[in-house]
Structure 1
Amino acid sequence: MNHRSTAFAAAYALMRVASDHSDHWGQSDFDARCKGATDAAPVTYEHEDGTTVTLGTDGGRRACLHHVLQVTATQGLALMAGTRVLGIRLHPGVVAAALAVSGLTHYAADRRVPQGLLQRLAKATGRERFYKLSDFGMNGAYCLDQSWHHSWETLAALLVSVKAGQR
């Protein structure tokens, strides 16, 4: 296997596990519930101490940005630490570009404003019924969200592998 193949496999695995961890264990309840808030569809969040806050578009954007920065930072740390342990050298500029691709596309999907990007894509590709599925132990919107993240992380890992071994 050549160095680029190894770098791709390592980068994908490290970015994927970092994103999965960040989405499920690392994401705060506040960010998870509020990242889709808009002025037209505000979210009222009750903190553990019983206080409540109602968020509109600005609050939703901030919650989503906070979550995405946390995901992207976790991916960056996993990439740098993991490839160092594996002895794989990555080009810093390409790593930055890959993390930008992952972060920007993560934000685009997770902002979830009414009729958000993923719902519009699902409708345009004839998958709107699957997107709306929330039965039989399935949640179509969640499955399409995760597939979106996996796809863009694959592209990001390909970017990282282009100049692997160079600095």
Structure 2
Amino acid sequence: MHASVFAAVFVALYVAHSVGDHWVQTSRQSADKGKPGWTGRLADTRHVASLTATKLVVLLPVALLLDLRLSLAGVAAGLGVDAVTHWWADRRSTLARLAKACGNGEFYSLGTGTHPFHPVTAEGKPAAHLGTGAYALDLLCTKDR
């Protein structure tokens, strides 16, 4: 694969990932995908299905417009691996176990009330903030390959 094809595909999937993970994903999917049992599994499956569809909707016009010679098998394999790993990371317990095994358990809890140095309000309650360690690790684990 030429570097220009790689770059075009990377940019298309990077943009699609941001759109699919933040704009297409519903609040219910986001809230439920880490829950145990079938509630979490089905919410995560719906999220990953819409995310993968978003990636395909963005990638296909880019490939056509730039006349990229992408194989159907390559696109299917790439999006398939991406979908499986994204589903795995979004189940949360799996990502938390990996973070702990890698020595990043404390970072995983960053931004939550369980982190040993979490910010608090004047009343001693967890303070609002932007982002968490779990979210940052999710991004690193599931960004398009």
Structure 2-normalised TM-score? 0.83
Runs of 4+ residues over 6 Å off in structure 1:
none
Tell me the equivalent position of 2:5.
7
Which of these residues, 83, 94, 100, is aligned with residue 63 of structure 2? 83
Partner of 2:139: 146
Deviations 1:109-163 (A, max 9, x none): 1122xxx12111111111111111105644111000011112xx12xxxxxxxxx
Unaligned 5+ runs, structure 2: 112-117, 119-128
Where does residue 59 of structure 1 map in the other structure?
39
- Residue identity in the other structure for 2:26: S
The partner residue of 1:131 within 108, 112, 127 is: 108
Q: Return the alpha-carbon distance in structure 1 between the equivalents of residues 110 and 135 of structure 2.
A: 10
- The TM-score with structure 1 as length reference comes to 0.73
Does residue 30 (structure 1) correspond to residue 23 (structure 2)? The answer is no
Partner in structure 2 of residue 120 of structure 1: 97
Instruction: Summarize the Cα distance change of 1:64–1:137 in structure 2 as closer, same or farther, 3 Å threshold.
Output: closer
**Match in the other structure for 2:17:** 19
- The superposition leaves residues 17-37 of structure 1 with CA deviations (integer Å, 9 ceiling, x where unpaired) of 111111111111111111112
Matched-pair identity in %: 38
Higher strand fraction (1 or 2): 1
Instruction: State the distance in 2 between where 1:18 and 1:148 align.
Output: 16
RMSD across aligned C-alpha pairs, in angstroms? Answer: 1.4
Partner of 2:82: 102
TM-aligned CA deviation for residue 5 of structure 1:
0.8
- CA deviation after TM superposition for structure 1 residue 78, in Å: 1.2
Q: Which amino acid counterpart does residue 12 of structure 2 have in structure 1?
A: L
Q: Give the distance between the partners of 1:117 and 1:104, measured in 2 at CA.
A: 13
Between the aligned partners of 2:32 and 2:89, the Cα distance in structure 1 is 14
Q: State the number of aligned residues.
A: 129
Q: Which moved more, 1:96-105 or 1:12-21?
A: 12-21
Counterparts of 1:75 and 1:137, CA distance in 2: 26
With 76-85 and 92-101 compared, the bigger mean Cα shift is at 76-85
Please state how far the C-alpha of 1:16 moved relative to its aligned partner: 1.3
